Amino acid sequence: GAGVSQSPSNKVTEKGKDVELRCDPISGHTALYWYRQSLGQGLEFLIYFQGNSAPDKSGLPSDRFSAERTGGSVSTLTIQRTQQEDSAVYLCASSLTSYPYFGPGTRLLVL
């Protein structure tokens, strides 16, 4: 596909369960971002991957959150022991230059 894709598009889980969110960036894009968007809160930076460099994890809100990027392409964001405050839209973006292209997001609801 031509754009960034994310799966699943929606996820409902129970408090305490682990979830994995997947991102397929645009082919050839070296940079990949994860953001979180909550109602009225704007875009919250989570993590940034650039090529083979160590990721910038400065935005991860707790050690329950982790992400990896395999082969410089697909990325997975994992949230362990989910809490209700983790409910949000998780957006992935990729870029080759200074401006990222976003996927449609994964809507996570923790009950």
Q: Which of 1, 28, 42, 71 binds other proteins (CB under 8 A)?
A: 42
Q: Which of 19, 46, 48, 86 binds other proteins (CB under 8 A)?
A: 48
Locate 40 and state its tokens: 């009225």
Backbone angles phi, psi at 85, to 5 degrees: -70, -5
Antiparallel, parallel or unpaired: β 106-110 and 10-13: parallel
CA 28 to chain centroid, in Å, comes to 18
Closest CA to 92 of 16, 15, 29: 29
Q: CA-to-CA distance for 78 and 82, rounded, in angstroms?
A: 10
CB of 49 to other proteins, least distance (A): 10
Residues in contact with other proteins, shown as a per-residue x/- string from 79 to 108 under the rule CB under 8 A: ------------x-x-x--xxxxxxxx-x-
Q: Which residue has the tokens 């799966």?
A: 7
Region from 18-26, 45-53, 69-77, 80-88 binding other proteins, contact rule CB under 8 A? 45-53
Is the CB of 79 or the CB of 105 nearer to other proteins? 105
The contact set with other proteins (CB under 8 A) reads: 4, 31, 40-43, 45, 48, 50, 56, 91, 93, 95, 98-105, 107
